[in-house]
Structure 1
């Protein structure tokens, strides 16, 4: 038993061989496998789970989870197909432990060992359904697969709601077993994640989902995940990782960039001590440094994460993406190019975005620097459209954006894009990060003002000139806002809005500028004016590039304004 406890607590090298697989042992062994994953021992984790994955619901869930994680990071069709067949088998395994009528409500107030197994079977089944839905979205391109994925998500959501009812009905019972506490952790992970995910959706989408039974409450979702993170169950680390992902990625890309970094650091701290070389922990530690503007420190930590393991190179690719951006924020274009090139060669996620990003970075370099790389920038931009892919029958919005921008290079006399790397930096909300560092923001402003001067003095302005000028003004306004010069920032933003009729191609600039002007007024405490500009962007513009991304950000911004004073003196 001591050997098992060692593995359970610290994921040491010694892996026990279970002679029987009751619920308690299955949960412990799955915890041991999770510890191995967090210590970069991915193959060992699979080896531990493999003997029992067709006979134990938790082994099935753990085994399939690792393969699904791998497939969604590689986008390799063979990995996706392997994970899909494993998930189907895992669902079959979980189904064997479910109550025959599959009505979770019938488990209320029943506490025998068999009923505990049934309760856990519902949880494991719901988690496997979510994984299958995720793979369904990335595996096929047709709408039928998209609908099938949606049905699986709805079934999973309903199971979690039923499990929540079971939990509520039994909350007051004294002397709850460890299995019940593990069940509670699983419910909090599922219910919390669903509520948080649904709360992020813009109102027009959420109204449609509410019609078919979905609802999302952000504060409730966050509270459930926080409780789950602190309850010392198998899924505690998964609740923590969900909160970390929300605070370090979702809040930035789909929100206003106001993630709770104090909470993220507090969640990560105990795991940094427990898994000091764990690549997932090192990755989030580096990401927090980036968001705090500690870019030099972030580079060191991402490089340490790359060195920490070689088995899952897809984690390297996540680091390369981050390193590309941390160097871009510092305008270290040769270093940024190095990581963009690695992504082009090694990663399968989105060749179109990687090639566009590489070409955009090269566009920021001197002719001498580009010459040393041996690259042809025009040819790279021309490749982008042919690399576009479709997921769940739809194009990736950032790919569509990259394709549309790169079309300027199709003619025999291409008109170069203006500051394309800084434009993509804005698309990924990178100015929020650079804004933490006045030195790098000032350096970006110099680059932007140089482009502004070149456009103003251009003797033969092209058809793209008005659009390029508006882009430069928007980017300049962002820098000025972060440098604490709001009046100058406002002038830049209003210049874009007053030029709306002259814009021919980049129609996204106006609604995005309205949104940024709204955030500027919010920063100054003028909440009613802020809401008016953001509502204008939401209501009066449609069919422009990156529309869905802006609507996510608008939704987050309006939520943050609710409860604020109507106006200030």
Structure 2
């Protein structure tokens, strides 16, 4: 094992070789590392430094700082696992998730070796006895890191599984031990006599951060799944989870930056995807918006900050400003570009600037491995909107053959785009509403909630295209669905309710576009919710889940129903 002085010397030399600028304050950071009293404290500070490098677009430097000394302590290796998980989250590449998973497993093994007093064989005994009162500060941190490493492993498993509810639930069950450790750590912190106030502070807010992540994550799951998980000891509570994370965010600890970023991921990505952020009378994320401003000041020009700034603008319907934040190629980590290309495609597409959108779907096809089938379909839609029919047809013909399987199962999104592409190739559909349909599934149509121009340009487009549909075409139902959606966004929820009820009454027996009926039921519930008709709205969300089945993207709609109902519940509690 490298000595403490030897590691500090290596760190200084490493950073000198990379010619870090004075503006980044790395000299001060290294001085801070030099003052560490032991290898665990030093590992915490190195982990924090690598995190700051990462958020400052110095991705390679962050990795190079930690990778050569990953075996120095549980925190050194844990920092490497965190970097690998962040990389996997940005690329959504199965190979990257596998690397993150293996790294997490190695971190757990290091923690087990540090705890080696039969801890693994008598976990409950160790907790219930007073043994932990005599544990060293370092040993307590090995316990905390073990819980986080299991959480990281689970994140890699769950995020790579898509929207499979059962895969997500199984992931939760697999990490029950991690959750229980965080709970015990929150009790240990006050009962143990700490030698180091620094390590006590890091331990206390590390436990709060971990519990906050779990509670926030579990709050997204449907009630039936949550009840099962609560039975085995879990708890899902959005407000409690956010409160714990916000405490950790303000604690000036090595997990503070993560505690500010995770709610951004929750609100700007997960809840936006689920439909409740960026919605009229949707979730409030004021504190997270404030934290984004703080991180923007701390990491000026950082890719993660800019992506979140763009996402916030998308939520607000300000797509032109969002585009200004999405600048590919300005950093050394190419995989961020894929996420940027994705959002640029949708921003330009929702503005009907399909010539620009086409550029970014082409880049995704060329550079990203996530889903060639979905990227091809997106590219074909852009070509179709530009009138390049023959080229679009060629692209659509390839979609079916580009489908992938994860753990032997087809990906629902890919099954959907394959069916749509095949319908075009076979002459069964002109995909007049193809772009809007896919935008709805990824929730980009909701940009019209706060941008009247988007609503108007698409209303006019749809009204023109419906004239070419046969009277008995099932795509008439798609037209009516978007008509109702745009009425909601135009501030006319009562009229939208009427249109959606007509759709549900007159198109009861759709054979191909079956998904329209549950989607229309959800949007009817949303229109009623906006009118404060909460009881009727709740019934619609329940009907959407219980009345319809066996349609593409069913799990996604169930998530949205659950999250809309959580808004109704919050409104009810507020009015009590």
TM-score range, shorter chain: 0.7 to 0.9
C-alpha distance in 1, partners of 2:180/2:415?
Answer: 34
C-alpha distance in 2, partners of 1:408/1:126?
Answer: 48
Of 114, 117, 136, which residue of structure 2 is paired with 1:97?
A: 114
2:520 maps to 513
Q: Secondary structure at the match of 2:468?
A: helix
State the Cα deviation string for residues 475-527 of structure 1 (Å, max 9, x = none).
11111111112343223212220123341112111111111111111111222
Compared CA separation, residues 329 and 75, structure 1 to 2 (3 A): closer
1:483 maps to 490
2:400 maps to 385
- Where does 1:116-195 land on structure 2 (aligned, <5 Å)? 116-136=137-157, 152-167=174-189, 169=191, 177-195=197-215
- In the TM superposition, residue 73 of structure 1 has moved relative to its aligned partner by 3.4
State the Cα deviation string for residues 352-401 of structure 1 (Å, max 9, x = none).
11111111222222x2xx27xxx621222222222222234443332222
- Where does 1:322-361 land on structure 2 (aligned, <5 Å)? 322-361=343-382
- In the TM superposition, residue 79 of structure 1 has moved relative to its aligned partner by 4.1
- In the TM superposition, residue 444 of structure 1 has moved relative to its aligned partner by 1.0
Compared CA separation, residues 415 and 100, structure 1 to 2 (3 A): same
Compared CA separation, residues 83 and 485, structure 1 to 2 (3 A): closer
C-alpha distance in 2, partners of 1:209/1:321?
Answer: 34
Does 2:240 match 1:220?
yes
Compared CA separation, residues 108 and 422, structure 1 to 2 (3 A): farther
TM-score, L = length of structure 1? 0.87
Q: Which ranges of structure 1 fall in alignment gaps of 5 or more residues?
A: none
State the Cα deviation string for residues 197-249 of structure 1 (Å, max 9, x = none).
11111122223333433331222111111111111110111111111111111
C-alpha distance in 1, partners of 2:395/2:502?
Answer: 33
C-alpha distance in 2, partners of 1:504/1:382?
Answer: 23
Does 2:427 match 1:409?
no
Compared CA separation, residues 80 and 549, structure 1 to 2 (3 A): closer
State the Cα deviation string for residues 247-283 of structure 1 (Å, max 9, x = none).
1111111242334342232011122111102111111
CA contact (8 A) 2:132 2:188 kept: no
Q: Secondary structure at the match of 2:467?
A: helix
- In the TM superposition, residue 552 of structure 1 has moved relative to its aligned partner by 1.0
Of 207, 231, 236, which residue of structure 1 is paired with 2:256?
A: 236
CA contact (8 A) 2:137 2:194 kept: no
Of 442, 445, 451, which residue of structure 2 is paired with 1:437?
A: 451
- In the TM superposition, residue 440 of structure 1 has moved relative to its aligned partner by 1.6
Does 2:42 match 1:34?
no
- In the TM superposition, residue 158 of structure 1 has moved relative to its aligned partner by 2.5
1:473 maps to 480
Compared CA separation, residues 229 and 501, structure 1 to 2 (3 A): same
Compared CA separation, residues 117 and 565, structure 1 to 2 (3 A): closer
C-alpha distance in 1, partners of 2:130/2:405?
Answer: 44
CA contact (8 A) 1:76 1:348 kept: yes
- Where does 1:514-529 land on structure 2 (aligned, <5 Å)? 514-529=521-536
Q: Secondary structure at the match of 2:175?
A: helix
State the Cα deviation string for residues 403-443 of structure 1 (Å, max 9, x = none).
232231353x4432231110111111222222211112111
- Where does 1:46-61 land on structure 2 (aligned, <5 Å)? 46-61=63-78
- In the TM superposition, residue 80 of structure 1 has moved relative to its aligned partner by 4.6
2:4 maps to none
Compared CA separation, residues 532 and 133, structure 1 to 2 (3 A): closer
CA contact (8 A) 1:10 1:35 kept: no
Does 2:334 match 1:313?
yes
| Aligned-residue RMSD, C-alpha | 3.2
State the Cα deviation string for residues 2-45 of structure 1 (Å, max 9, x = none).
x99x99x9853547486985222221121111111111111211
- In the TM superposition, residue 149 of structure 1 has moved relative to its aligned partner by 5.3
Compared CA separation, residues 565 and 399, structure 1 to 2 (3 A): same
C-alpha distance in 2, partners of 1:164/1:265?
Answer: 28
C-alpha distance in 2, partners of 1:77/1:252?
Answer: 24
CA contact (8 A) 2:137 2:196 kept: no
Of 537, 540, 544, which residue of structure 2 is paired with 1:533?
A: 540
- In the TM superposition, residue 286 of structure 1 has moved relative to its aligned partner by 1.6
- In the TM superposition, residue 89 of structure 1 has moved relative to its aligned partner by 2.8
Query: Structure 1 stretches (4+) deviating beyond 6 angstroms?
Result: 138-141, 144-148, 173-176
2:288 maps to 264
C-alpha distance in 2, partners of 1:328/1:190?
Answer: 38
* Bigger mean CA deviation after superposition, 279-288 or 495-504: 495-504
Q: Secondary structure at the match of 1:216?
A: coil
- In the TM superposition, residue 95 of structure 1 has moved relative to its aligned partner by 2.0
Q: Which ranges of structure 2 fall in alignment gaps of 5 or more residues?
A: 1-7
Q: Secondary structure at the match of 1:40?
A: coil
Compared CA separation, residues 132 and 522, structure 1 to 2 (3 A): closer
CA contact (8 A) 1:246 1:259 kept: no
CA contact (8 A) 1:73 1:349 kept: no
Does 2:433 match 1:419?
yes
